[in-house]
Structure 1
């Protein structure tokens, strides 16, 4: 089999890239070892997060670092045995989180974040999957008045970004979510983002659009990628597929490709969990919420109420550990009545992260026809279609809608 371009990875990044390339007249073969949307894209909190204009940075305040060092937080947990291995990357992350460098990362990410809802809207309309999307924004909740007051005091800093929001006191937040418990003192309703009630279903709908337009999906092993002269070849269950260009969009599995070709890109993994819960009879969660003080997300999903945890630093291959999920559940049950757990075990996912808080999007500097699109950290679902568009524009020699330099792989040389 032959195509113009092979895209490795059928998560939100790979599928979006394939769609944008297809729209530009390229024949594309999308390859994954599983079905579309069943990897990292399956387990996120379902937010198209237009309001996250400041990247998730390493805390710089001594009090915050000290709190996390105790390893008792529901927002972040680490495996003490893994800490020495991840420490050099954490130091680099800490350094990139200085106010000056964080501002650089925020400017770099802003065009992709600003395009997130628009690019999703196009795919949603074309794929006919609007039933999976909710345009209600999300709610940032606070269990302490001091926490809410501090958040309100920081709102002037985001005024230049033109985001729409409403500050909610206790009466307003309980009017918005009548089933919230008394533990909630107030919050901020971010109005620009959208939410997805089935992230895996959304990726599958986009993949269906790709195949419906003549795109080819094949199950195969990305580790078999080889360069044959000017071609790239991958083994699939349907036989070898060759193309003049290949895109690595494998999320947390991307190192097995780029390391093999000699690239030293500092990709690390932040682990995260989710669990679905039944709603107590007669209650409803109307909006996705972020418990800003405990560091988890509750989202109304097709499968139930999904609790998505914060960050865990542990070996990607280590068994699931329920400590963080149990801590978050303790706080969540004080916000809204949760019924029984619906999943037989927690889902464990791997978030691919780079220390400068922006992905790698663009050409591999040492190999003709090799392209990268990975490292989207917490924002894969949000900026997947936008980053797919940027890479497709670069691959087809179009004028890119955003300056690609901040995402270049060559920045890690």
Structure 2
């Protein structure tokens, strides 16, 4: 039960780290309380967002803030009881979202995003998971010309600054691409450099199988038992290793708090539900109804409807009012059939106030590494994060400069 490295967390980030370490000759244990891909990595829209150079910012205009304050918006809801705890985080988030600061974030963030598709494709090929991959991008659709024109202007800036390609789709082009969409969506942008997958959890399982094929060990264990040394209690006994990585998404703060780290990590909650498609209806790629705030995407299980953001405490009970609010719009947009899940799925996106993940060594403990806080882009950035951490742990030069993502920046 002695290893070179322990990776805590078997989501997309932790599993990718484990694969890259094992490839470099390390003996690695991947440890989680659940099987790989069964927490936050299970519930996203399946988009590998190569265009996502600007992470999602806190709104700065009074009209949008006022709309959200009413707590009736379809894309953002909040728990009033959670606001006293979340307010300090939200104020820091608002601070970092000022346009000049947001632009500085994008300059660092874009270096990660640039490797998102290529790193996934390489692992997908190695894992034999090509059947899960869709190329050709995703669609960001609009109901009004004003919102569409604003999005075209923003996408044009991304293209000028970072070379992000896009297609502007007229009503006719949009409905040629997706004939089953209803008439409410008038125009769209298609981000052609992005990919998507039909089963995010299945993709993580495929990466975990690759890890085991390379000689890695997947164990069921409790990360809260982590002790300096580094040792963790698992169902198979106590595991020890020279190095340890905390890649537990929204649960990372609990583990590192035992070592006296207090990083500003909060969550954005979100829901999904699967539906059957009505006979003869097809959906070829993910579609965001941008002005309402939900995504419909074709998955192995059916059409997945994902909601926007719910601000609340990580472990509060489910309150899927957003799902109920957007489902009528989604049915107007696409001919959804019956619900396929017994109840809505709730996930928690781990977020930092400066919108960038924490990637790198723990400031005060040798051979301890952090990899969490990827917010909406956990799936997108999992493999490149895995490569960067593995390169740093084995003394290689990282493919991306990790300094902007260091833990001590807070």
Tell me, what secondary structure is at the counterpart of 1:4?
strand
Establish whether residue 167 from structure 1 lines up as the match of residue 168 from structure 2. yes
Partner of 1:74: 74
Tell me, what secondary structure is at the counterpart of 1:343?
coil
Establish whether residue 144 from structure 1 lines up as the match of residue 138 from structure 2. no
Partner of 1:291: 289
Deviations 1:152-176 (A, max 9, x none): 2333311222122111111111111
Cα distance in 1 between the residues matched to 2:214 and 2:157: 44
Partner of 1:200: 201
Deviations 1:259-292 (A, max 9, x none): 1101110000110000001101111111101111
Tell me, what secondary structure is at the counterpart of 2:31?
strand
Cα distance in 2 between the residues matched to 1:379 and 1:216: 26
Partner of 1:182: 183
Cα distance in 1 between the residues matched to 2:47 and 2:253: 26
Establish whether residue 41 from structure 1 lines up as the match of residue 36 from structure 2. no
Partner of 1:247: 245
Establish whether residue 12 from structure 1 lines up as the match of residue 17 from structure 2. no
Cα distance in 1 between the residues matched to 2:320 and 2:7: 34
TM-score by length of 2: 0.98
Instruction: Give the C-alpha shift of residue 411 in structure 1.
Output: 0.8
Partner of 2:398: 400
Cα distance in 1 between the residues matched to 2:149 and 2:13: 37
Cα distance in 2 between the residues matched to 1:36 and 1:306: 20
Instruction: Give the C-alpha shift of residue 148 in structure 1.
Output: 1.2
Kindly indicate whether the alpha-carbon contact (under 8 Å) linking 2:33 and 2:222 is maintained by their aligned counterparts in 1: yes
Cα distance in 2 between the residues matched to 1:403 and 1:213: 27
Out of 377, 380, 383, the position equivalent to 1:382 is 380
Deviates more, 1:210-219 or 1:322-331: 322-331
Cα distance in 1 between the residues matched to 2:236 and 2:153: 58
Instruction: Give the C-alpha shift of residue 141 in structure 1.
Output: 0.4
Instruction: Give the C-alpha shift of residue 181 in structure 1.
Output: 0.8
Tell me, what secondary structure is at the counterpart of 1:141?
strand
Cα distance in 2 between the residues matched to 1:318 and 1:262: 25
Instruction: Give the C-alpha shift of residue 332 in structure 1.
Output: 1.1
Tell me, what secondary structure is at the counterpart of 1:351?
strand
Kindly indicate whether the alpha-carbon contact (under 8 Å) linking 2:23 and 2:214 is maintained by their aligned counterparts in 1: no
Partner of 2:342: 344
Deviates more, 1:334-343 or 1:1-10: 334-343
Partner of 1:60: 60
Tell me, what secondary structure is at the counterpart of 1:333?
helix
When the two structures are aligned, how many residues end up with a matched partner?
409
Establish whether residue 114 from structure 1 lines up as the match of residue 120 from structure 2. no
Kindly indicate whether the alpha-carbon contact (under 8 Å) linking 2:155 and 2:166 is maintained by their aligned counterparts in 1: no
* Structure 1: runs of 5 or more not aligned: none
Instruction: Give the C-alpha shift of residue 108 in structure 1.
Output: 1.2
* Structure 2: runs of 5 or more not aligned: none
Deviates more, 1:129-138 or 1:143-152: 143-152
